């Protein structure tokens, strides 16, 4: 099948490369000429495990190509996937500027019938807006186009795996013929396929991300209580994770949730509820708890340094919002870093994959070549991203280079007893 994918971010690139691997002919299009030129040269705009090899293989097989020309990408495509960004506005509402721009750009290109599948995370009502734009431009639904919702459930760092091993596929549409075509396209992935309306498909995506955010805020609340009563949240999470009604996913206490999706989608759902006459107080409390958790790390750091940050050197390990990616968008680590700098702390930071992106946001920070250089002459070490590399450091060697043997482990990556035996003053999250 011939496919066009609009947008070459995490979702667009993984989707395009994935469908090419399944034997389809895919053209990915983006208005960013520099990004497209880099992709044609085999250079990815971000790190995602396994994606480089997947793209290289399918470009060589001539099943995957890149262009800045939407006309070229869409001309022979049977299905057009829209995977552009929908960032948050100041009030939390999803910014649909890129979605609207795509709809307007497609008007002169829909000479023959195409299915337009919205993969971007958008609020209910967006597909209707998209259709109205096309119809105002003289295109007839059913003759020139039909529109569907095909939400993505890809985890950054595991996106390639998730594409080929989905837990479910959700297809939202209003015509059985559209559902049949999409069903055949996704069938090789061998996942349960849920056929529903576009509104329900969009709500499934928002509900899934909101529930994940809720689990993280929940376990962080439990972690803070554990600290007060002398319990260990790691064992608490293990204990409740055995319950099949609860499961074990997203029950790891830490700095909170960041990244490009959970916060954005939570805010958008809150705003959507308000626009429809409902105050989502529970969802607001999940968001507030997340902000509180980030402040807890700052508080612990100040407490460990006797409330004096000015002039202190802080080694910060981890800049990306999670391990396995180069993405620093909405990284809580960067938010914590900025706060510490405002109070006069000197920051030495290291991350295995995220430093190039971080340098564009916080260029005044000292970036180091490895964790040992970051720890040299530091008063305290903060671990804010759970990279496996940090768990295997030679902490005895590292301790000898620090001015004070203080560790704040914001992601509970290390073994507390082992760190204390080495002579560190160690604090995790909810570890008693």
296-326, pLDDT tens digit by residue? Answer: 999 999 999 999 999 999 999 999 999 999 9
343-372, pLDDT tens digit by residue? Answer: 999 999 999 999 999 999 988 899 999 999
Give the Cα separation of 73 and 80 in Å (integer): 9
Average pLDDT, the chain: 95
Average of per-residue pLDDT across 399-410:
96
Pair 120, 82: CB distance under 8 Å: yes
- 205 is written with which tokens? 């995506």
Average of per-residue pLDDT across 163-181:
97
Give the Cα separation of 207 and 246 in Å (integer): 16
Average of per-residue pLDDT across 42-70:
96
How much is the pLDDT for 298? 95
How much is the pLDDT for 90? 87
Superfamily for the 2-196 domain: NAD(P)-binding Rossmann-like Domain (3.40.50.720)
Average of per-residue pLDDT across 233-244:
93
Share of the chain above pLDDT 90, in %: 94
Domain ranges of the chain: 2-196, 198-432
How much is the pLDDT for 51? 97
Of 323, 422, 331, 353, nearest to 381 (Cα)?
422
Share of the chain above pLDDT 70, in %: 100
How much is the pLDDT for 364? 86
CB atoms within 10 A of CB 271: 18
In this predicted structure, the answer to whether residue 164 has a pLDDT above a threshold of 90 is: yes
Helix spans in 166-197 (H): 176-186
Give the predicted TM-score (pTM) of the model.
0.90
Average of per-residue pLDDT across 405-409:
97
**Phi/psi at 230 (5° precision):** 85, 25
How much is the pLDDT for 245? 87
Give the Cα separation of 96 and 276 in Å (integer): 18
Of 286, 293, 297, nearest to 209 (Cα)?
286
Write the burial class of residue 48 (CB in 10 Å: 0-12 exposed, 13-18 middle, 19+ buried).
buried
What is the distance in angstroms between the CA of the first residue and the CA of the last residue of the chain? Answer: 56
How much is the pLDDT for 48? 94
Average of per-residue pLDDT across 47-54:
95
78-109, pLDDT tens digit by residue? Answer: 999 999 999 999 888 999 999 999 999 999 99
Of 108, 83, 86, 248, nearest to 163 (Cα)?
83
Domain 198-432: give its CATH code: 3.40.50.720
Domains 2-196 and 198-432 belong to one CATH topology: yes
How much is the pLDDT for 247? 83
**Known active-site residue 261:** yes
How much is the pLDDT for 153? 95
In this predicted structure, the answer to whether residue 381 has a pLDDT above a threshold of 80 is: yes
Which member of 4, 28, 226, 261 is catalytic?
261
How much is the pLDDT for 75? 92
In this predicted structure, the answer to whether residue 432 has a pLDDT above a threshold of 80 is: no
- 253 is written with which tokens? 């206490």
Helix spans in 165-261 (H): 176-186, 198-229, 233-241
How much is the pLDDT for 176? 96
């Amino acid at each position: 099948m011939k496919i066009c994918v609009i947008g070459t971010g995490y979702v667009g690139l993984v989707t395009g490369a994935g469908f090419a691997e399944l034997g389809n002919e895919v053209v990915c299009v983006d208005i960013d000429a520099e990004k497209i030129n880099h992709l044609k040269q085999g250079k990815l705009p971000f790190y995602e495990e396994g994606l480089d090899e997947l793209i290289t293989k399918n470009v060589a097989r001539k099943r995957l190509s890149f262009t800045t020309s939407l006309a070229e990408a869409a001309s022979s495509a049977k299905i057009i996937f829209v995977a552009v960004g929908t960032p948050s506005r100041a009030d939390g509402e999803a910014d649909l500027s890129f979605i609207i721009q795509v709809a307007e750009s497609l008007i002169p290109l829909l000479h023959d019938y195409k299915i337009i599948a919205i993969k971007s995370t958008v609020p209910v009502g967006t597909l209707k807006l998209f259709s109205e734009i096309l119809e105002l431009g003289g295109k007839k639904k059913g003759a020139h186009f039909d529109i569907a919702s095909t939400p993505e459930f890809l985890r950054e760092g595991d996106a390639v795996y998730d594409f080929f091993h989905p837990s479910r596929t959700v297809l939202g549409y209003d015509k059985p013929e559209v559902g049949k075509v999409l069903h055949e396209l996704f069938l090789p992935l061998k996942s349960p396929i849920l056929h529903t309306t576009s509104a329900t498909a969009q709500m499934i995506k928002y509900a899934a991300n909101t529930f994940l955010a809720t689990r993280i805020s929940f376990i962080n609340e439990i972690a803070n209580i554990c600290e007060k009563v002398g319990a260990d949240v790691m064992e608490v999470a293990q204990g409740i994770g055995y319950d099949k009604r609860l499961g074990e996913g997203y029950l790891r206490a830490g700095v909170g949730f960041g990244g490009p999706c959970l916060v954005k989608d939570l805010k958008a759902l809150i705003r959507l509820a308000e626009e429809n006459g409902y105050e989502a107080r529970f969802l607001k409390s999940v968001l507030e708890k997340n902000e509180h958790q980030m402040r807890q790390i700052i508080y612990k750091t100040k407490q460990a340094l006797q409330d004096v940050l000015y002039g202190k050197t802080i080694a910060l390990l981890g800049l990306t919002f999670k391990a396995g990616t180069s993405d620093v968008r909405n990284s809580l680590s960067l938010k914590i870093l900025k706060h510490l700098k405002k109070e006069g702390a000197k920051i030495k930071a290291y991350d295995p994959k995220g430093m190039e992106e971080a340098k564009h946001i916080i260029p005044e920070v000292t970036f180091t070549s490895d964790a040992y250089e970051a720890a040299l002459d530091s008063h305290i070490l903060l671990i804010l991203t759970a990279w496996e590399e940090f768990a295997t450091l030679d902490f005895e060697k590292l301790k000898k280079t620090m001015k004070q043997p203080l560790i704040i482990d914001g992601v509970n990556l290390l073994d507390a007893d082992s760190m204390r035996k080495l002579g560190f003053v160690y604090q995790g999250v909810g570890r008693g």
